[in-house]
Chain A
Amino acid sequence: QVQLVESGGGVVQSGRSLRLSCAASGFTFSSYAMQWVRQAPGKGLEWVALISNDGTYKYYADSVKGRFTISRDSSKNTLYLQMNSLRVEDTAVYYCGRDPRYCIGVSCYLGSVDYWGQGTLVTVSS
């Protein structure tokens, strides 16, 4: 069965760095794009970043662009999120997710998430 397990969260001071990991199993990791989505305490879902299945293409929310880097290692079936220059407003539960790239007819679409990890909490203190 598909499993995604995040790790690396914790408490960090503003301006410091943290790297999140997401270990994937139960599917062919290299065949799927992957995403990070976060949720601030008591708030809604916010998309953070997406990486293509082969790591060639990477996309970011404006709120993290230039500070966060998404990457993947298919030899380890692991997705990463390197977070630099952290801010108090980055405090959130960070979820990794598998992008199924649904196809309808001849058209295929990235952007939804069919499997989610349990999340890892990042707390940025001032």
Chain B
Amino acid sequence: EIVMTQSPATLSVSPGERVTLSCRASQSVSSNLAWYQQKPGQAPRLLIYGASTRATGIPARFSGSGSGTEFTLTISSLQSEDFAVYYCQQYNTWPPITFGQGTRLEIK
């Protein structure tokens, strides 16, 4: 099973700041990695697939990069609606499909 590790667990940032979230895979997942955003009481929303391709309707301030075992999600200028939990997910080697434990973005 591929273990996905996200860091940090919690990030306190101010609106307007640029933020980078990290995700590491225990072995290579090529570019078969997705990022999701989840707000309290809501279902997750797909942000990025293929490590760097924005899903339909996702604002350009969200960008993904990386391949192999190291990945990042960058939000160029945080908006109030971006404060949420972010999960990475690998779908290169499965079953099982695996998620990271999540990074919580909170308002500083």
Contacts and interface: CB of A to CB of B under 8 A. Distances in A.
Interface in A41-59: 44-47, 50, 59
A109 B91 contact: yes
Interface in A34-93: 35, 37, 44-47, 50, 59-62
A104 B101 CA distance: 27
B45 interface: yes
Interface string B61-95: 00000000000000000000000000101111011
A29 interface: no
A114 B36 CA distance: 9
A27 interface: no
Interface in A95-123: 95, 100, 102, 104, 109-119
Interface residues of B, number: 28
Interface residues of A, number: 26
Nearest to A116: B43
Contact of B95 (A46, A61, A102, A119): A61
A95 B55 contact: no
Contact of B87 (A44, A104, A111): A44
A109 B32 contact: yes
A113 B44 contact: yes
B34 interface: yes
A113 B87 contact: no
A4 to B, nearest CB: 9
In order of increasing CB-CB distance, the 3 nearest A-B pairs are A111-B91, A116-B43, A47-B97
15 contacts: A44-B99, A45-B87, A46-B99, A47-B96, A61-B95, A95-B43, A95-B44, A104-B50, A110-B91, A112-B34, A112-B46, A112-B91, A114-B46, A114-B49, A115-B46
Interface of A: 35, 37, 44-47, 50, 59-62, 95, 100, 102, 104, 109-119
